[in-house]
Structure 1
């Protein structure tokens, strides 16, 4: 890099903030509301490991917030230096400010504010043994975050959010992902957009349904891309999405409950797909 290029490179700032009335703090606190997340095209993630993982995966950081008590921590100072080098803002704050930002009494010592990222639906071109998950109108941020974490764990390719869903970048969802929000590509679409895209899907589209006639364990998912379509927590798959499935599957239940939690059902399905399609190595004895 030439001296001129170094001179033109954006350089961030480090500021010390102790007041809750500071405009920078107010802007970050506002990210608790979807309206402001959408306006700023940003979201919060808590924890040093999450921030490091996000930067390593190429996510764009806008602001790094860390507690005064972390001053002198080598790992925190290193990530602060990376943030400044990226041209972003670093705030050293009191624990009172950090608690207000995270809405926690015992907050993590580091919070990152990142630019949201969505994958255009048209750019998803499944091939080979690729596995994707589509969720219809998922409502619960805990469910959404847990599904994203499971997608990450099994090595599936990503997630498509269909219809009016809960925000994948809400603080509750991001917490539930345990960092997988940075590793799982997310696309979003209306039901109409999704159905139009589905027509060109080159593999198996499988949905779980209470009226499903096929046991989920009886299907060979290997040798082709798989799209797993899961319905809303309360209503399941609507007729138009159910009709778009090649197979409607059921997860047998022996007890009184007539259905599983969405995140649990998705995990059960993904690990069965993993067994036959992803063919990931298993540890000895498992």
Structure 2
């Protein structure tokens, strides 16, 4: 292992202190780095060739065996693999029982230009969505439904919050996610022919009647408690409602966004196939 470094045992080690600081947003923003906790996220990052600075692992756990294939094809510019004590794993994690491996990843924010370079683009826009689990789930659904990107407006929880990262389940490496001022970005999108669609319980049009095909569509979702802000709502071209034949006041924002993203995918990629039924003679 070309990039294997010496064992670090003390949580007071200066490098460890720098890693642990990344649990706080101000340090993540200052350093341009974030933490990935656990086997799945580290593997997803390696598979996506995401830039990693360090992979720290509990040497006594045997977790390195799980990464044998990555170490066999290790690149000289790849991350440093550093064996550390369980105390260090704990210090650099927000979970009570952390997995025996984490990585320090570099931020790689995409350019806003990609939003307008895709014909028939589909973008999820979040206006002050504050729950990390909701944001992570929406990113995951966007990646799964083939969305072009996810845009995080002001007031939305930090994408690189460890809880948000965990909730994406690695989808952050498969769909571009960028931050923007919606009061500036949405008018620009409208000027370029993008259809801006929101959701409302008062909307007259069903999401199943809205035509998501052959156009660039951005789906706008608002805060868990107050919905889309008045300023952003004024920029939306149309609102749709998700019909509910059962009894519920409303849907969670992550559920609503998932439903609309997959309805757009269905309309764009799947046509109705009539399967003949053979009647018994």
When normalised by structure 1's length, the TM-score is 0.86
1:155 and 1:123, CA in 2 relative to 1: closer, same or farther beyond 3 A? closer
CA contact (8 A) 2:124 2:218 kept: yes
Distance (whole Å) between structure 2 residues aligned to residue 191 and residue 103 of structure 1: 31
* 1:138-217 paired onto structure 2 within 5 Å: 138-217=129-208
The answer as to 2:123 corresponding to 1:132 is yes
Whether contact under 8 Å (2:115, 2:121) holds in the other structure is: no
Alpha-carbon distance in 1 for matches of 2:64, 2:272? 38
- Shift of the 114–280 alpha-carbon distance from structure 1 to 2, 3 Å rule, reads farther
Q: Aligned pair 1:44/2:35, yes or no? A: yes
Q: For 1:27, what is the secondary structure of its paired residue?
A: helix
2:48 to 52, 57, 62: 57
In structure 2, the CA distance between the partners of 1:28 and 1:70, relative to structure 1 (3 Å rule), is: same
Native 8 Å contact 2:41 2:166 kept in 1: no
* Closer/same/farther in 2, CA of residues 236 and 115 from structure 1, 3 Å limit: same
Pair 1:15-2:6 in alignment: yes
Deviation at 1:85, TM superposition (A): 1.9
In 2, Cα distance between equivalents of 1:40 and 1:77: 30
Query: 5+ unaligned residues in a row in structure 2: which ranges?
Result: 276-281
Q: Is contact 1:16–1:91 with CA below 8 Å preserved after alignment?
A: yes
1:223 aligns with 2:223: no
Partner secondary structure for residue 63 of structure 1: strand
The partner residue of 2:268 within 234, 252, 277 is: 277
The aligned counterpart of 1:4 is: none
Aligned-partner SS, 2:130: coil
Provide the residue aligned with 1:25 in structure 2.
Answer: 16
Q: Alpha carbon RMSD of aligned pairs, Å?
A: 2.5
- Is the CA contact 2:115–2:149 (under 8 Å) kept in the aligned structure 1? no
* Match status 1:119 vs 2:110: yes
CA shift for structure 1 position 198: 1.9
Deviates more, 1:199-208 or 1:113-122: 199-208
CA spacing shift, 1:280–1:194, aligned 2, 3 Å:
farther
Of residues 22-31 and 51-60 in structure 1, the stretch that sits farther from structure 2 once superposed is 51-60
For 1:200 and 1:159, the matched residues in 2 are separated by: 19
Residues 244-286 of structure 1 show CA distances to partners (whole Å, capped at 9, x for unaligned) of 222211112345533211101101111111110243999x9xx
In 2, Cα distance between the equivalents of 1:149 and 1:26? 31
SS in 2 for 1:17: coil
Q: Aligned equivalents of 2:258 and 2:166: distance in 1?
A: 18
* TM-fit CA distance, 1:18: 1.2
The CA deviation string for residues 211-239 of structure 1, in whole angstroms up to 9 with x for no partner, is 32211111121122221111111111123
Q: What residue in structure 2 maps to residue 239 of structure 1?
A: 230
Can you list the C-alpha shifts for 1:33-81, whole angstroms capped at 9, x where unaligned? Answer: 1011111111111233422332332311111111112458444355457
Compute the TM-score of the two structures, normalised by the length of structure 2.
0.87
1:103 to 2:94 alignment: yes
Equivalent residue pairs, number: 273
